[in-house]
Structure 1
Amino acid sequence: MAHLQLADGVLNYQLQGPADAPVLVLSNSLGTDLGMWDAQVAVWCEHFRVLRYDTRGHGQSLVTEGPYSIAQLGADVLALLDALDIPKAHFVGLSMGGLIGQWLGINAGDRLLSLTLCNTAALIGSAQVWNDRIDAVLAGGQAAMLNLRDGSLARWFTPGFVEAEPAGAQRITQMLASTSPEGYAANCAAVRDADYREQVQQIQVPTLIVAGTHDVVTTPEHGRFLQAHIDGAQFVEFAAAHLSNVETGAPFTRRVLDFLQAC
Structure 2
Amino acid sequence: MDNFSYFPASDGACIAYRMERRDNKPVLVLSNSIGTTMRMWDGQIAELSRHFSVLRYDARGHGASSVPGGAYPLARLGQDVLELMDTLGIGQAHFLGLSLGGIVGQWLGIHAPTRIDRLVLSNTASYLGPADRFEAPIAEALQGEDMTATTETFLRNWFPASMLEAPGATVGTFRAMLLATNRHGLVGSWRAVQEADMRQDIARITRPTLVIAGEHDTVTAASYGVEMAKTIPGAQLLVLPAVHLSNVEFPQEFVDAVVKFVLSPAT
Which interval holds the TM-score relative to the shorter structure? over 0.9
Q: CA separation in 1, counterparts of 2:19 and 2:166?
A: 31
Superimposed CA distance per residue, residues 26-65 of structure 1 (whole angstroms, 9 cap, x where no aligned partner): 0000111100011111101011000000001110111101
Q: Is the 8 A contact 1:161 1:247 kept in 2?
A: no
Q: Match for 1:99 among 87, 96, 103?
A: 103
Q: Secondary structure at the match of 1:97?
A: helix
Aligned counterpart, 1:34: 38
Structure 2: runs of 5+ lacking an equivalent: none
Please give the TM-score of this superposition, normalised by the length of structure 2.
0.94
Aligned counterpart, 2:216: 214
Percent pairwise identity: 41
| Residues 206 and 73 (structure 1), Cα distance of their counterparts in 2 relative to 1, 3 Å cut | same
Q: Secondary structure at the match of 1:32?
A: coil
Superimposed CA distance per residue, residues 195-232 of structure 1 (whole angstroms, 9 cap, x where no aligned partner): 10110000000000000011011111000110000011
Please give the TM-score of this superposition, normalised by the length of structure 1.
0.96
Alignment of 1:166-245 (within 5 A): 166-245=168-247
Matched to 2:106, the amino acid is Q
Q: Match for 1:261 among 260, 263, 267?
A: 263
RMSD: 1.3
Number of equivalenced pairs? 261
Superimposed CA distance per residue, residues 125-165 of structure 1 (whole angstroms, 9 cap, x where no aligned partner): 43222122222222225x1x211112222210111233465
Q: Could you tell which deviates more after superposition, 162-171 or 187-196?
A: 162-171
Aligned counterpart, 1:130: 134
Structure 1 residue 6: deviation in Å? Answer: 2.2
Structure 1 residue 259: deviation in Å? Answer: 0.6
Q: CA separation in 1, counterparts of 2:38 and 2:133?
A: 25
Q: Is the 8 A contact 1:17 1:46 kept in 2?
A: no
Q: CA separation in 2, counterparts of 1:213 and 1:12?
A: 32
Q: Is the 8 A contact 2:93 2:115 kept in 1?
A: yes
Alignment of 1:140-155 (within 5 A): 140=144, 143=146, 145-155=147-157
Q: Secondary structure at the match of 2:16?
A: strand
Q: CA separation in 2, counterparts of 1:241 and 1:10?
A: 32
2:81 equivalent to 1:77: yes
Superimposed CA distance per residue, residues 169-208 of structure 1 (whole angstroms, 9 cap, x where no aligned partner): 1211321111111111111111100110110000000000
Structure 1 residue 166: deviation in Å? Answer: 2.3
Q: CA separation in 1, counterparts of 2:27 and 2:261?
A: 15
Aligned counterpart, 2:9: 6
